[in-house]
Amino acid sequence: MSQKKLIFGVVGVVIIGAAAILYSTMRPSGPAFIDPADQTLVMQGKVIYANNCAACHGASLQGQPNWRERMPSGKLPAPPHDKTGHTWHHPDAMLVDMVKNGLVPGKTAPPGYVSDMPAYGDMLSDQEIIAVLAYIKSSWPPKVLEAQKEVTLQRQN
């Protein structure tokens, strides 16, 4: 092999390696978009929601009464997850994070924020959290779902 060919070969390998590393670091972790068209996922999520979330967020995702007003404790009631709430304003990655870790001050909430939202990281698997979000999303009208999809995909670029 001539020296020139060898150099080209080495440069090629380096470029491919760098591209592979770049691709793997840029690739978003988790699904690109949690899709409520997946009926199996939605049905699984419905059961998880009823058992874990309905007590606060309401059996039909309606939230607690007067959910915009702080309680005497200073904390906010549970908001609805249907189209009247603000769950759909957030990208999927953030929703997964909030269910897994609760509302973390300085991360998914303002510094010093205190909230009644529990952390489910020890109780639900990632797959179960995705399922419950798919169920929540299945209540959103197409326009709301489309808007949230845009927010989700923007966040991952």
| Using rule CB under 6 A, residue 116 touches ligand HEC | yes
In the complex, minimum distance from the CB of residue 11 to ligand HEC, in angstroms, rounded to a whole number:
48
In the complex, minimum distance from the CB of residue 114 to ligand HEC, in angstroms, rounded to a whole number:
7
Interacting positions 131-150 with ligand HEC (CB under 6 A): 132
| Using rule CB under 6 A, residue 70 touches ligand HEC | no
Interface pick for ligand HEC out of 28, 52, 126, 144 (rule CB under 6 A): 52
Interface pick for ligand HEC out of 36, 58, 79, 91 (rule CB under 6 A): 79
The torsion of the CA quartet 80, 152, 30, 81, rounded to 10 degrees, works out to 10
- Dig out the tokens for 17 from the structure: 């390696």
In the complex, minimum distance from the CB of residue 36 to ligand HEC, in angstroms, rounded to a whole number:
14
In the complex, minimum distance from the CB of residue 12 to ligand HEC, in angstroms, rounded to a whole number:
47
- Dig out the tokens for 58 from the structure: 């309401």
Residue 94 CA to residue 154 CA, distance in Å, equals: 13
**53 touches 132 (CB < 8 A):** yes
Residue 103 CA to residue 109 CA, distance in Å, equals: 6
Select from 79, 75, 57 the least CA-distant residue to 132. Answer: 57
Number of residues forming the site for ligand HEC (CB under 6 A): 23
